[in-house]
Amino acid sequence: MALDFTQFFERYEELVSEVDAVFNKFETDFPEQVRCEKGCSDCCYALFDLSLVEALYVNHHFRERFAGLERNDIMERAADIDRQLFRLKRELWKASQAGKSTEEIFETVARTRMRCPMLGEGDLCVMYDKRPITCRLYGVPTAIEGKGHTCAKSGFKGGEKYPTVHVDMIHERLMDISRDIAEHLGSKYKAIHEMLVPLSMALVTDYNEDYLGVRKPGDDAKPEAAAPAPQPQAPGASIPKMEDAPSEACNTCDSDKSLCASCKENSFSIVLGGDDE
C-alpha cells in the first residue's frame, strides 16, 4: 500500500510560505544585512536535523525528481556524509566524557562544515524549491532556546537590536504535524514523531510501512504507552510577524525576565558557518 502524506505536506507547505514571507520581509527591511545571493553556499555546509514531516517531504520529492545515475550519485554523497556524522558524534561523545561542556560541544557542531549532498554544480542546490525550513531562514537573526544565531557572512552584528525569528515556535509546529502523521499511521513506535535526522539520512532512508511502524493484520494491537506530546499552541498561533518582533535585544530571550540583569548584551552568542573575522 502506497503511503499518502498529501494532507500533511500541504500543512507543511503552508508553514514554508509563512517562513518565506518572513525572510522576504527581512530582505526588504534590512537589504544591507541580508547578503544571501545566488552562488553563496555557506548554509549548505551547516549541520542540522529534520523533523519527521520534513524528512518525509524531502525524501518524497527527491525520489520523484531523480532517478538512475543522478539519484545514485546523490545517495552516495549522502551515505558518505552519514559516515562522517557517525564519526563526529563519536568524537563529541568522547569530548563530553572528557569533561567538555555542552556549550563547547554545541559550538563545535555549529562550526563544523559538511557539504550538503544536494549541493550541485556551481554551488547551486538541486532541490532549492523543496529545501528545508532551516535553509530558508539561514542569513537572518534567529533565536533557539533563548540564544541568538546568525550567519557570519550576514551584516547583522552582535549586540545590535534586530527583529528575531523564534525557531522554537516553528519547531513546535513541525512536531505537531509529525505527531499527527504518526497518529494517522497508527504507528507502533510511540516516539517516531520525535525523530530528528540529518538531511543525508532522510535521502537514503526508505520510509516504508515497516520503517514507520504501520501495523499489519496479526500484529499485536495492544496500544503502547503514549509518548509525551508537545504542548499545544494557542489557537491561531503562527510565526511572529516582523512588526510584532522584539525591538530590544533582550526580548529575543525566552528565559525568566528576572534574569535580565545578568544577561549579556551580545544577543548573538553563536555564529553559524562563514569565516571567522
Taking only the tens place, the pLDDT of each residue in 138-179 is: 999 998 888 888 888 899 887 788 889 999 999 999 999 999
Helix (H) or strand (E) run with residue 269 in it: strand 268-272
Tell me if 205 is assigned to some domain.
yes
pLDDT at 108: 84
Checking 122-129 for CB contacts under 8 A at 24+ apart, the result is 122/39, 123/39, 123/40, 123/41, 123/44, 124/38, 124/39, 124/41, 125/44, 126/66, 126/74, 127/58, 127/61, 127/62, 127/65
Tell me if 144 is assigned to some domain.
yes
How many domains is the chain built from? 1
pLDDT of 189 strictly over 90: yes
The predicted model gives 24-37 an average pLDDT of 92
Residue 191 CA, distance from chain mean position: 18
User: Rounded CA gap, 41 and 125, in Å?
Assistant: 8
Show the DSSP H helices in 98-141 as ranges. Answer: 102-111, 133-137
What rounded mean pLDDT belongs to the chain? Answer: 81
pLDDT of 272 strictly over 50: no
What range defines the domain where residue 230 resides?
6-272
The predicted model gives 65-88 an average pLDDT of 94
pLDDT at 1: 58
pTM score, two decimals?
Answer: 0.78
Tell me if 277 is assigned to some domain.
no
The predicted model gives 85-109 an average pLDDT of 87
Answer whether 140's CB lies under 8 Å from 146's CB: no
Tell me if 87 is assigned to some domain.
yes
